[in-house]
Structure 1
Amino acid sequence: MSNIDIRHAHALPADGARQAIEEVAAKLSERFGLQSSWVGDVLNFNGSGVDGAIELQPGAVRVTAKLGFLLSAMKGMVESEIQRVLQEKLG
């Protein structure tokens, strides 16, 4: 099992960042078939072979995930896709 831990800085107000995280989750859902739900300022997500969260922090978001056996082999691609979407949506 592999872990992902990405911190991405942003300059958006809290509402804007929350909306951007929703868009990130939608992209990841499209790409990886994830389901997600908010608990406070944390968007928890899970799907086949992945379990994680996107935490809204002041001036940053933090993405943590545990990848199952099959996705562990593609960890680099998964991390790159998350970083690309974060950059696209949060700047």
Structure 2
Amino acid sequence: MASIDIQHPHTLAPPRARQAVQEIADKLADRFGAECRWDGDILDFTRSGIDGRIALLPGQVHVTAQLGFLLGAMKGPIEAEIRRVLDERF
């Protein structure tokens, strides 16, 4: 299994940071059928071939994910897209 581990700094207030992560979760659900759920300041997401989480920390967003075999082959483009979205939102 391939894994993704990205730490991205941010300067947003906690409510705005949570809103930004929720917007990302909404897109994951709409575009890829991912199931998303909050557990405190951690958003867990899952769908066939990927299990991950987005943790809101003071001044930082931490994205981790485990990719299944097929998506593991696409790790580079997936990681690049995550970084692009984080740069755009945070």
User: Identity of counterpart residues, as a percentage?
Assistant: 57
Is the Cα–Cα contact under 8 Å of residues 44 and 52 in structure 1 kept in the other structure?
yes
Cα distance in 1 for partners of 2:39, 2:59 equals 19
Q: CA RMSD in A?
A: 1.0
Give the secondary-structure state (helix, strand or coil) at the position aligned to 1:12: coil
For residues 29 and 85 of structure 1, what CA distance do their matches in structure 2 show?
15
Which consecutive aligned stretches of 4+ in structure 1 deviate over 4 angstroms post-superposition? none
* Structure 2: unaligned runs, 5 residues or longer: none
Partner residue in 2 for 1:7: 7
In structure 1, the gaps of 5 or more residues are none
Amino acid at match of 1:24: I
Residues 8-87 of structure 1 aligned to structure 2 (within 5 Å):
8-87=8-87
Shift of residue 30, structure 1, vs aligned partner:
3.6
Q: TM-score, normalised by structure 1?
A: 0.93
Kindly indicate whether the alpha-carbon contact (under 8 Å) linking 1:52 and 1:64 is maintained by their aligned counterparts in 2.
yes
Scaled by the length of structure 2, the TM-score of the pair is 0.94
